[in-house]
Chain A
Amino acid sequence: MGDKLSALWRKVSWAWSPESERESSEAIVKNFWLHWFPAKVARASMDWNYSFWLGTASAALLLILTVTGVMLMFFYVPSTERAYGSIKDLQYAVSFGRLLRNQHRWAAEGMVAVVYIHMARVFLTGAYRGTRAINWLVGVALLLVTLLLSFTGYLLPWDQLAFWAITVGTSIAKQAPVLGPTIQFILLGGHEIGQQTLLRFYVLHVFFLPVFVLVLFAYHMWRIRKDGGLAVIERVRNDRVMAPKAASKTKSYSLFGITPGTSVQVMSSTGLEESDQVFSSPDLSRRMMLVFLVVFNITLLAALLFNAPLEGLANPSVTPNPAKAPWYFVWLQELVASTTVRLGDFTVSGALLGGILLPGFLLGVLTLWPWLDGSSFRTEGRWLAPERRRQNLTFAIATLAIIVLILVGVYLRGPYWRIYWPGQPRPEMPRLY
């Protein structure tokens, strides 16, 4: 009986723990869950210290968010009268509802952070050159959609944070040249925040934006294969060219790797030697599962230890004092609060300058960066290449500026958005509801 069971288990799981190189290769062809991997991947791209597996961690967070999000949909009612109550129910009346919501919230905030750090890794290793520029663009879009998902997500509880975030967010949209008022009207579904507004942001959050993320994510993964793997491979290849060796007779075990102009007999699809490569199963698949497990455990632990915030019920008559955005938007709040320019009678609102033009400029520079980068291709896939020092410094300074603005907004801003230094007494504000 036990033997039969273990034989059955082996039939199901052999692809994940192959016992020979032949099984490793077959696993990729025969197992649905492994079929999108190449038979072999570069050993260098398995390095924990090269990529920190941040892309995999983002994907793990996306999976956690999708599962917990669909679970939450069973309990959440997108109505201005019942939304807040349904969140309270999740907290106090639904078994493990609080845990579910906590995990969704912390995974969401984690995803914003991890996606950004992933982008920083790609930037600092110069991993966006040549055809990889397309994946950089997809990545920038994914960062943007991640932020939009976070924004539409924290609107749904219909608490004070939600209401005033919509107020400020759609007021910024209204400042857009020409189309601004129309955009605000279509976002709100009217001139004021109401039922239509909540429903629109709800459908965006649970359908349109996630579908958009999944399509971009799939394309992001597909592009990695078309680009021949992580950029670190270019480093290995460049180093090989520096030290030429006799042509080897390595061949790929899978025919999927063949691309035009490459013959199976001469070199493998990645142009790497056999000693540079490892089998996707188990070397890649096991590391991936490990990353998923670690990410899952971290979000679960965070959900057990910390409760997701929930403010008072949305009240159009009372603005919280101060009204602060979540940490990942506080730097934008600092920008809109401090970029109003006055030249005599001529005034440019910070809402336009700091809310639209400046972030738009940042986004534009980020989008075009692969084409602004003039450094040599030898820097590809290398951490902090000396030749790219100026570029890396620019990125680091921009990131540092954002972090400083976030710290100022989160820790120093008090009532009426004034600066209060640590130790300086803050006036007691009556809590109004």
Chain B
Amino acid sequence: MDRDRRKILRFIGKGSVVAAFLGQIGAAGRAFFPNVLYEPPSRFKLKRPADYPEGYTLDAAHRLFVIRQKDAFHVISAICTHLGCNVQWKDTEFDCPCHGSRFRPDGTVIGGPAPRPLEWFATTVSPDGFLDVDSATEVARDFRLIIGGKGKA
């Protein structure tokens, strides 16, 4: 009886030290996961549709291409699906300077190490008439934003 009580007390004593220690480690580890991120939003405005010429236009700041085919617009990410470098548009294909991935004009892979096609971003026109890109939402490769009349949706 006395033995058992000692055992239990010893277990509680040692256990509390171990628990406190593990808890401290856990708390310290948790601090490395930020709760507040000071990052730009994944949804942002570009220029007005009419500001884009026909063809492929790089928006370097947002790391994407705006593609205009007459009244139809779509937006393709410039971030290589392999390891995150910026691909460049070379008249007929996208090429990546880091590991040599190559993509067709619609973003599908021609060759190189890229495992997936370039992402297509959901695009709308904001009420005040700017292209509005949601880089967190992917769309299929038949997506087209048709702007009727003189640059109005």
Contacts and interface: CB of A to CB of B under 8 A. Distances in A.
Given A186-B33, A191-B37, A351-B82, A318 B98 contact: no
Nearest to A186: B32
A322 to B, nearest CB: 5
B116 A323 contact: no
- DSSP majority for the B interface? loop
A62 to B, nearest CB: 28
Contacts of A185: 33
Contact of B85 (A167, A192, A339): A167
A108 B33 CA distance: 31
Interface string A317-332: 1111111000000000
A351 B82 CA distance: 7
B99 to A, nearest CB: 4
A323 B100 contact: no
A319 B113 contact: no
A168 interface: yes
Given A168-B83, A347-B115, A190 B99 contact: no
A336 interface: yes
B96 interface: yes
Q: Report which residue of B34, B61, B99 has the largest number of chain A beta carbons within 10 angstroms of its beta carbon.
A: B99
A416 B96 contact: yes
Contacts, number: 96
Contact of A319 (B37, B39, B98, B112): B98
A321 B88 contact: yes
Given A336-B83, A340-B115, A322 B98 contact: yes
Contacts of B115: 340, 347-351
A191 B79 CA distance: 14
Contacts of A333: 98-99
A348 B116 CA distance: 10
A351 B83 CA distance: 7
Given A318-B60, A319-B98, A191 B39 contact: yes
A417 B88 CA distance: 13
Given A168-B83, A172-B83, A350-B82, A190 B39 contact: yes
A189 interface: yes
B113 A416 contact: no
B63 A194 contact: no
B114 interface: yes
A317 B116 contact: no
Contacts of B61: 317
Contacts of A340: 82, 112-115
Given A168-B85, A316-B63, A190 B34 contact: yes
A417 B38 contact: no
A338 interface: yes
Contacts of A190: 34, 37, 39
Interface centre among B40, B86, B88 (most CB of A within 10 A): B86
A68 interface: no
B23 interface: no
A349 B80 CA distance: 12
Interface in B83-105: 83-86, 88, 95-100
Given A164-B85, A317-B86, A416 B39 contact: no
Contacts of A336: 82-83, 99, 113
Nearest to B39: A192
Contacts of A318: 60, 86
Contacts of B34: 189-190, 196
Given A189-B34, A316-B63, A164 B98 contact: yes
B86 A417 contact: no
B113 A168 contact: no
Nearest to B61: A317
A164 B100 CA distance: 15
14 contacts: A171-B84, A186-B32, A191-B37, A318-B60, A319-B86, A319-B97, A319-B98, A320-B97, A336-B113, A337-B98, A340-B114, A351-B82, A417-B97, A418-B100
Given A168-B85, A350-B99, 15 more contacts: A164-B85, A167-B83, A185-B33, A186-B33, A189-B34, A191-B37, A317-B61, A317-B63, A319-B85, A321-B88, A337-B99, A349-B82, A416-B95, A416-B96, A418-B100
**Nearest 5 CB-CB pairings of A with B:** A417-B100, A317-B60, A337-B99, A321-B97, A349-B115
